[in-house]
Amino acid sequence: MRKVVLFNSLGKKMEEFVPIEQGKVSFYVCGPTVYNSPHIGNMRPVIVFDVWRRLFKAIGYEVTYVSNYTDVDDKIINRAKELGISEKELTEEVIAEFRDMVEKVGSLQPDITPKPTVYMDEMISYIGDMVKSGAAYEADNGDVYFSVESVGDYGSLSGNTPEALNAGARIEVRGAKRSPLDFALWKKTEEGIRWDTPWSQGRPGWHTECCVMINSIFKEQGGLIDIHGGGFDLKFPHHENEIAQAEAHNHHKLAHYWIHNGFINIDNEKMSKSLGNVLLAKDIIAKFGGMPFRLMVLNAHYRAPLSFTEETIGEAEKSYQKILLAYKQAAVALQLEGIDPSSLKGEGEDKFLDAMCDDLNTPNALSELYAEIKVLNQSLRMRPLNLDSVKGSLGKLNDYLNILGIQVPYPVLSDEDKALYKAYIDAKAAKDFAKSDELRALLSAKGIL
């Protein structure tokens, strides 16, 4: 198995990936809270962790990839009331749109997409276990809180230790809590969807949902997984609080490796509702296309901030067209020789895989892809056509594009198309320009030229 090195946010250093079970990767990525149309920031983890998944599969691992939909939350309750529909109607509508966006940016759907509403019995039981152990407590108002002081190394992921937090001024104090650092596991509520428990009628806290679903789905591993991923903004408090609960309940940190992607900014400014610069994924994809957007995301290292500008998306559009044109020309040329372009596999992709296995260095990997595009274009210009060279380049490109998740559609030629193309070549050779122009127009209309 090829060596993979990644930056582990837990420990803040580069580490070699060593799986819990040889040859297998258990992967969980925090998904969206489904109360509104996804924005382009929601799509960065969708793309980044899809490429991580594809890479592990390409080098021989069996991957179980899980990403949730948070379908119970105050934002969902409030949005459903605004629209005059049920929370279930709202969440199902947003999930359908999100799944469509996942497809349009070229990502694979997760193997498992858990929803908190389906795991409510497990959540109530999990919280009950922590109340019994003393890691959590019931407040007078019917809420249940996690006691941060019950774990010894709170802050190990984010660096936000109890000492640092207590020294700061940005602490929410609620009388029901024993400590201002404690966070809600269960919230009593009289609004929206709610469940009966020994403590109150209400719903779970957000930080509890993911760790319980991981604990349930990966029960055979004791609720411990290889990789937990998500956006940088989730590191604190969400992921920190997940770790605290896993330590209290299962005596481990939930995952061996924690991976976080950077933000997408808009013209180098933070995307926010207050600035009025939130860009919806469906609008950007409709305007520029899913593949140019994906390529723009991969042009930056996943841990670095990425700025969406006319320039960055424009560069991605041009690059995608170069890939598309070269690939389509090669695919047509090979089909005329009776070769299926999609069947070709590459050899000698060490530089590409070295870049990808070095903390998913997609900018360097893309440099290898563009270098191969240049080789392919040179081969396509040769007369007579060097078929072996074209096949070799296309085989490598198939591997590169599959791992990066970049889709390159090409025309599949029928016998009629091949005959038409041959007639076009013969007309050109005979210098029958009127005929060749006529046939070229027909081939162009079919997307072959």
Rounded Cα distance between 196 and 121, Å, is 10
> DSSP letters along 29-65, please?
E---B-SS--BHHHHHHHHHHHHHHHHHHHTT-EEEE
**What are the residue ranges spanned by the domains of the chain?**
5-261, 310-445
Q: Give the tens place of pLDDT for each residue, 246-263.
A: 999 999 999 999 999 999
Task: Out of 17-21, 37-41, 392-396, 420-424, pick the least confident.
Answer: 420-424
Rounded Cα distance between 60 and 95, Å, is 31
Does the pLDDT at position 319 exceed 50? yes
Average pLDDT on 30-56 reads 98
Q: Give the tens place of pLDDT for each residue, 385-409.
A: 899 999 999 999 999 999 999 999 9
pLDDT of residue 174: 53
DSSP-derived letter for residue 112 is B
Residue type, 424: Y
CB of 9 closer than 8 Å to CB of 259: yes
pLDDT of residue 175: 61
Does the pLDDT at position 348 exceed 70? no
Task: Out of 85-94, 186-195, 204-213, 271-280, pick the least confident.
Answer: 271-280
CATH entry, 310-445, from 1.20.120, 3.30.70, 1.10.10, 3.30.56: 1.20.120
Cα 28 → chain centroid:
11
CB of 306 closer than 8 Å to CB of 387: no
Residue type, 249: H
Average pLDDT on 220-228 reads 97
CB of 39 closer than 8 Å to CB of 280: yes
pLDDT of residue 169: 43
Rounded Cα distance between 180 and 122, Å, is 27
Burial of 280: CB neighbours in 10 Å, binned 0-12, 13-18, 19+: middle
pTM over 0.75: yes
Q: At 335, which helix (H) or strand (E)?
A: helix 310-336
pLDDT of residue 405: 98
Average pLDDT on 355-375 reads 98
Residue type, 355: A
pLDDT of residue 449: 81
Q: Give the tens place of pLDDT for each residue, 300-316.
A: 999 999 999 999 999 99
So what's the architecture of 5-261 in CATH?
3-Layer(aba) Sandwich (3.40)
Task: Out of 171-175, 361-365, 415-419, 423-427, pick the least confident.
Answer: 171-175
Fold match between domain 5-261 and domain 310-445:
no
